[in-house]
Amino acid sequence: MDLQSPAGQSFRHFLDFIWAETCRGDQFTRSELAVREIENTCATLLILASETELNRQVDQQSPGLATPRVEMAEEYLRAHIEEPFALDKLVEITGTSASTLLRQFRKRYGMPPLQYLKSCRLEATRRELASTDPDETSVTEVAMHYGFYHPGRFAGYYKHAFGELPSETLGRSG
């Protein structure tokens, strides 16, 4: 496993986050949904961090099959945006190996499926925040609905993606 690669660094940061949350012992780590999300994310990051340079090259044996399989994975992710990420489900749906799917997805979208899903979730939270009455819901409720369980990290992702805090978007129709 190359811990210096972007995937390896993501895995290390994720483990640091999980360790910090576990040591705090708050409600986050006692949530069954959070534990499933942690397990799925951990497994996915391990697969990404374990890829060799050879697996990152374009699959020359079946270039024509890449687009339909990747599109099937994308459609599934968008249709199940609120569910925990499961690479094994994408592999089952597309009928390809995890490394091939990850390589093809990265070639098509410039990012792995988990990052793509995070981007889709951020877009969905933005739409929902903009159309939601601030008296009826909160940023935290919307964020958790889309799988963002750490409010501070969510706010950072959101600001990086949209240039404003989620609280600035809340209730602003448009």
pLDDT digits (tens, 9 = 90+) for 118-132: 999 999 999 999 998
Q: How far apart are the first and last CA of the chain?
A: 45
**pTM of the predicted model, to two decimals?**
0.63
Q: What is the number of other CB atoms lying within 10 angstroms of the CB of residue 82?
A: 10
Residue percentage of the chain with pLDDT more than 70:
77
For the chain, give the percent of residues with pLDDT over 90.
39
Contacts of 43 (CB under 8 A, 6+ apart): 87
Single-letter amino acid, residue 109: Y
Residue indicated by tokens 């705090």: 24
Q: How far apart are CA 10 and CA 92, in angstroms?
A: 25
Look at 148 and 9; give whichever has higher pLDDT: 148
| CA separation for the pair 169, 110 (Å, rounded) | 27
pLDDT tens digit string along 65-104?
457 888 999 999 999 999 989 999 999 999 988 888 898 8
Q: Could you state, in order of their start, the residue ranges of all structural domains in the chain? A: 1-50, 59-110, 117-169
Distances (CA, A) of 135 to 29, 40, 124, 171: 29, 34, 19, 9
Mean pLDDT of all residues in 48-65: 48
